[in-house]
Amino acid sequence: MGGARLSLVGAIAPKRRALMVPLTADGMVPGAPPYEALVRPLRSEMLAVFGLTMPFGVLSERAIMLHPEIIRVGRGAPERLSEREARARIRAWMDTEGPTFERIVLLSYGPMMPVWSRAVQGSAAAPKVKLVQVHRRGGLGDTVLARKLKRAVQE
């Protein structure tokens, strides 16, 4: 996982913003170039980065980097059961950790979006979520996307 570094100060300072990145098979994992190209410019002491995973829902970036094996062993479970578990775990995260953030920025793309939507509907922290859409044409490497993401995270 070259390129991604764990910050000790970052681990203990209070965060105000959360960034949710759906982790899919197209290189969007901590340390991989497409992921780092998007996330690295946004890193700060005030930002906590999380991955959206199937079936385990919201995992901190730190946990994913320390335990990449949990992502691999989670794959292969039946889709219906995976989605159900992901929904419940996303909702549990929203209800426990969601209220601790001022804003939760969700990079909106990929097959987990319906799972996310069903999970957060009705959650008290749902109004804190700001979606940043990934458009099919530009994709994850779009500079417009990078600007929108920066604005959503830093404003």
Q: What residues line the site for other proteins (CB under 8 A)?
A: 55-56, 58-60, 63, 66-67, 69-70, 72-74, 77, 81-82, 84-85, 87-89, 91-93, 95-97, 118-119, 122
Q: Treating both helix axes as pointing N-terminal to C-terminal, what angle do 113-120 and 79-96 enclose, rounded to 10 degrees?
A: 50
CB of 21 to other proteins, least distance (A): 16
CB of 74 to other proteins, least distance (A): 5
CB of 81 to other proteins, least distance (A): 6
Pick 53 or 108: Cβ nearer other proteins: 53
Pick 90 or 140: Cβ nearer other proteins: 90
* 57 phi, psi to nearest 5 deg: 70, -135
**Sign of the CA dihedral with 5 first, then 9, 14, and 17 last:** negative
Pick 69 or 155: Cβ nearer other proteins: 69
Residue recorded with tokens 């910050």: 7
CB of 126 to other proteins, least distance (A): 12
- Which residue in 45, 3, 39, 26 sits closest to 145, CA to CA? 39
Pick 119 or 132: Cβ nearer other proteins: 119
- Which residue in 107, 115, 132, 58 sits closest to 81, CA to CA? 115
The SS3 assignment for 57 reads: strand
CB of 87 to other proteins, least distance (A): 6
Residue 46, amino acid: M
Pick 76 or 137: Cβ nearer other proteins: 76
